[in-house]
Amino acid sequence: MLQNKNIAFYAPIKPPDHHIPSGDRLIAQNLLKALEITGANVELASKYIAYSKRHSCEILAEKKSGALAEANRLIEYYQSLPKADLPELWLTYHPYCKAPDWIGAEVSKALGIPYVTIEAARTGQGGEEDLWKDWREEAQAGIKTVDLHLVFKPSDWEYLSSLLGTEENLLELHPFIDAENVELAKPMPLPSHWDSSIPVLITTGMMRKGKKLKNFNILADALNNLDTGFNLIVVGGGPEEQTIRTSFSSVDASRIHWTGLVEHQEVLRWMRSSDVFVWPGWKEPIGMVYLEAQLQELPIVAYKSMGVPLVVEDQHTGLLAPEDNIEALRQNLCDLLKDQSLRKSMGANGRAKVLSKHGIKAAASRLDEVLSPLIIS
């Protein structure tokens, strides 16, 4: 049992209390909550950010140097503590090529404690030139020293088993959310000029370059020539907002409501005012927002891409199109917009499935089960 066990937690991509919202931050926050449910004493060991947007050798050297200095600081600090206060396990969330974990390997070795990761991964950065090769090798060096990897998705399992040459220290963990504490939100009032008989789509995402911009562009294309009525709520903001607004210029502006950046609870309220959640999910690692939307009883329309099928069940809680098949994505939107009973049944299925399989209590039980054997009483 993890009851009263001391666990040191670290997320090299960003700390759980970082000011910028993201799926990574939400997963880290929920991991802390799940560990607290087990009764463990969880400490955020470090807020050092190893993540880099750029791959230069100079940045790599700077990040590694800073991480090793932080590791030395922690080792010195921990060695000054009474034995009863020392961490008994080190847990790192999401080390990968753009955010290697140099700290966990050093501290766990110095203290002689188990070293565990959750969602250690290899992402697609680099292209044919593999510009992130040096960073990836640094991440892999740490990954190879880990005692146990908890894995969310099949692609990570395949990567780790290939890298390590074994599956012996790999175990599955379902993606999860703090579902039990999420009530059905109070709906936000819709624009007064909208016809209440016309279904409402909702999408949400940070408006920045890369995958986020690509997904907004895919959605804009899918809405072109849609042969059924709809209104659309777009939640989010960011540096590419004007670019994204322009990409939706073929849609009648009176049918789109742009909320800008809003607080998390307000996002849930906008979801509750809607009929279908649509986010293409192109190259989406997991997509925690799909779990949140399903908790608000929304059916999902997305691509069957990477981690999306882990949290959305095709034909049961949503409709998933083959990746990059925009015609299929558009048809799935039409099917749900035209069928209210299908929307209602899939929405109900989604909330039930998240509560039963992807809730934080189930995750806490799993963490207790797999981590307890690593800690020597």
Establish if 286 belongs to a structural domain. Answer: yes
CA dihedral 68, 70, 367, 351 (to 10 degrees): -110
CATH number at residue 145: 3.40.50.2000
Domain ranges, residue 139: 6-176+359-374
Handedness of CA 255, 261, 262, 263 (dihedral sign): positive
The counts of H helices and E strands in the chain are 13, 12
pTM of the model: 0.79
The vertex-248 CA angle with 243 and 254, nearest 5°, equals 125
Q: Is residue 248 part of a domain?
A: yes
Q: Give residue 326's Cα distance to chain centre.
A: 24
Same domain? For 268 and 234 the reply is: yes
- 192 and 322 in a common domain: yes
**How far is 184 from 109, CA to CA, in rounded Å?**
46
- Please report whether residue 14 resides in a domain: yes
Helices 133-143 and 103-111: crossing angle in degrees, nearest 10, is: 20
Q: Are residues 231 and 118 in the same domain?
A: no
Residues 189 and 335 occupy one common structural domain: yes
Nearest partner of 171 among 111, 116, 240, judged by Cα: 116
Same domain, 56 and 139: yes
Residue 271 in any domain: the answer is yes
> Tens-digit pLDDT profile for the chain (377 aa)?
999 999 999 999 999 999 888 888 989 999 999 999 999 999 999 999 999 999 999 999 999 999 999 999 999 999 999 999 999 999 999 999 999 999 999 999 999 999 999 999 987 655 556 889 999 999 999 999 999 999 998 889 999 999 999 999 999 999 998 887 778 999 999 999 999 999 999 999 999 999 999 999 999 999 998 989 999 999 999 999 999 999 999 999 999 999 999 998 999 999 999 999 999 999 888 888 999 999 999 999 999 998 899 999 999 999 999 999 999 999 999 999 999 999 999 999 999 999 988 999 999 999 999 999 999 76
Domain co-membership, 130 together with 188: no
How many CB atoms within 10 Å of residue 51?
Answer: 16
Judgement on whether residues 169 and 305 belong to the same structural domain of the protein: no
DSSP state of 274: -
pLDDT for residue 179: 84
Tokens 């309220």 -> residue:
269
* Residues 207 and 141 placed together within one structural domain of the fold: no
Task: Please state, in angstroms and rounded to a whole number, the distance separating the CA atoms of residues 85 and 362.
Answer: 28
Burial (Cβ within 10 Å: 0-12, 13-18, ≥19) of residue 187: middle
pLDDT tens per residue, range 127-178: 556 889 999 999 999 999 999 999 998 889 999 999 999 999 999 999 998 8
Residues 318 and 366 in one domain: no
Shared-domain flag, residues 155 and 52: yes
For residue 256, give the nearest of 271, 241, 234 by alpha carbon.
Answer: 234
The residue type found at 252 is: D
The verdict on residue 27 lying in a domain is yes
Residue 284 lies in a domain: yes
Q: Is residue 1 part of a domain?
A: no
Whether residue 133 is found in the same domain as residue 15? yes
155 and 11 co-located in one domain: yes
> Is the residue at 257 inside a domain?
yes
Number of folded domains in the chain? 2
